[in-house]
C-alpha cells in the first residue's frame, strides 16, 4: 500500500517480456523530473497478463462506484463528498486473458492499489508504458511519476468537464 497522495496518469499495463530483464533505455525528462526507462520492443509484448478477462471484470465489479462493460471498458469515480477523481480504462484480451490494460485519470494512491490488484497478483508482474512519451517504466518508477504528476495538479486536466452531471 502507498500513501494517500493523488496520482495522475495515462498509461498501459503489460506483462513483462519473456526474455531476461529489459535493458535500460534513455531516461525520460519531463516537467516532473528525470525518470529511468526500460528498452522494450513492441514485439516483446505478446504475452498476456496471468489473469483471465472475465476474472478481471468480476474483480472490477467489486470496487464501489466502478462501472464496467462486458467489452472491457470501465470508469471508476470518486464519492461525491470527497476530492473529485476519475479513472477510465479498457481491457484488451487475447485468448480469454488480458493482453494489456489501458488506464487514464487521477485517483488517490490507495485507490490505485485496489485497481492494480484487480489485474495483478504480484505488482512486479508488469511493465508500464507511459502513453504520452511512449516509454516503458517499472511499476515503482510509474508510481513516482504518477505521484509527481498528481502533486503538480495534472489530474485536473484528466477529469471530464464539470457539466457532466457531477
Query: Which is higher by pLDDT, 55 or 153?
Result: 55
Rounded Cα–Cα distance for residues 46 and 43 (Å): 6
Query: Which is higher by pLDDT, 19 or 93?
Result: 93
User: What does the pLDDT read at residue 166?
Assistant: 45
User: What does the pLDDT read at residue 4?
Assistant: 57
User: What does the pLDDT read at residue 159?
Assistant: 65
**How many C-beta atoms lie closer than 10 Å to residue 54's C-beta?**
13
Helix and strand numbers, DSSP H then E, in the chain? 3, 11
User: What does the pLDDT read at residue 2?
Assistant: 47
Q: What is the mean pLDDT of the chain?
A: 89
Contact (Cβ atoms closer than 8 angstroms) between residue 127 and residue 11: no
Rounded Cα–Cα distance for residues 164 and 166 (Å): 6
pLDDT in tens, 18-55: 777 778 889 999 999 999 999 998 888 899 999 999 99
pLDDT in tens, 1-16: 445 589 999 999 999 9
Domains in the chain, please, with CATH?
A: 6-159 (3.30.310)
Amino acid at each position: 500500500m502507498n500513501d494517500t497522495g493523488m496520482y495522475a496518469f495515462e498509461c498501459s499495463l503489460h506483462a513483462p517480456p519473456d526474455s531476461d530483464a529489459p535493458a535500460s533505455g534513455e531516461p525520460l525528462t519531463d516537467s516532473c523530473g528525470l525518470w529511468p526507462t526500460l528498452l522494450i520492443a513492441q514485439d516483446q509484448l505478446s504475452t498476456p497478463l496471468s489473469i483471465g478477462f472475465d476474472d478481471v471484470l468480476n474483480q472490477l465489479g467489486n470496487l464501489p462506484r466502478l462501472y464496467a462493460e462486458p467489452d472491457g471498458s470501465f470508469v471508476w469515480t470518486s464519492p461525491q463528498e470527497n476530492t473529485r477523481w476519475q479513472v477510465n480504462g479498457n481491457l484488451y484480451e487475447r485468448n480469454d486473458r488480458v493482453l494489456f490494460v489501458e488506464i487514464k485519470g487521477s485517483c488517490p494512491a490507495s485507490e490505485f492499489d485496489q485497481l492494480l490488484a484487480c489485474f495483478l497478483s504480484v505488482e512486479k508482474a508488469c511493465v508500464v508504458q507511459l502513453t504520452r512519451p511512449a516509454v516503458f517504466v517499472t511499476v515503482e518508477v510509474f508510481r513516482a511519476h504518477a505521484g509527481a504528476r498528481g502533486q503538480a495538479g495534472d489530474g485536473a486536466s484528466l477529469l471530464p468537464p464539470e457539466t457532466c452531471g457531477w
